[in-house]
Amino acid sequence: MSKFKALSSAFLAASVICGAFPFAVTASSEEKNVRLIVENHTLTSENGADWEGILVDEWVPVGTDFDALSIVKNTLAEKELGSVISDSGYISEINGLSSEDGGSMGAWMVMLDDWVTDEGITAYTSASGKLLPGDEIKLSYSTSWGADLGYDWSGTSTLLSDVKINGGIIDPAFSAETKEYRITSETGKISFVPTAENKAFRWKIYKNEYTPEAPGSDIKSCEDITCDDGDVVYIGVGNKAWHSYLAEGVNETVYKFTINSDKQ
């Protein structure tokens, strides 16, 4: 696939996490739901936007067979929020905010667990294993085909820019280039909220065994992880098993966090 096709795929997807951190709900408490966020933080009303901020943020109940496109369409319809979405999944307008409003590079981007997807929204279904309970679908408006959201289709860095840790103290302080850490925890319950330098590359979290090719074996962002002394948490970024395409020069990065637990 050419770089142009990779860009086009993300654009046509119009490409989460307990991503809006102040609104975080643990995925473990919502394991039969999928979180949907619709937001615009890039185009102001002064520059033509019909609305700004977060339009939707809720956990949507799902059964055994579900898909991202239906979740989006049904939720918007239930809330009486108008949308223009083609059968192929291209999102051109939500609640009056259209791709043209942001200029020639205006677009609705589809993000899955804080990652700008590399396939159209129709690819993300429970049947394909690409959408699971606890996942987050985020529709974010962009005025620059995702660059203003942290997405660089031509970039190769698979580093994390930050990791927020709840329930533990990290040593040394997080730095993108440092790959190994120790975390001290008095409760033995720790959660991680990673942020990739480039949202073109997906990250996933694992405990003790790093199993990127096993769908559903990862731990969600913000989900409490029960850890004993000596346990290890891995965060990988840019593994080829999670992407439909990776350009030459893209190498996976794996961070390792060893737990020093002194439960009270």
| Tens-binned pLDDT, residue by residue, of the chain (264 aa) | 333 333 434 444 433 334 433 333 444 444 589 999 999 999 999 999 999 999 999 999 999 999 999 999 999 999 999 999 999 999 999 999 999 999 999 999 999 999 999 999 999 999 999 999 999 999 999 999 999 999 999 999 999 999 999 999 999 999 999 999 999 998 999 999 999 999 999 999 999 999 999 988 999 988 999 999 999 999 999 999 999 999 999 999 999 999 998 765
> Which of 135, 110, 116 is closest to 18 using CA atoms?
135
pTM of the model: 0.85
Model confidence pLDDT, tens digit, residues 147-165? 999 999 999 999 999 999 9
> Which of 39, 256, 1, 255 is closest to 139 using CA atoms?
39
Residues 80/89, Cβ–Cβ less than 8 Å: no
Q: In the chain, how long is the greatest CA-to-CA distance?
A: 57
DSSP state of 50: S
Q: Is 122 helix (H, G, I), strand (E, B) or coil?
A: helix
CA-to-CA distance for 232 and 181, rounded, in angstroms?
10
Other Cβ atoms less than 10 A from the Cβ of 182: the count is 14
Model confidence pLDDT, tens digit, residues 25-71? 444 444 589 999 999 999 999 999 999 999 999 999 999 999 999 99
Retrieve residue 203's tokens: 């990250």
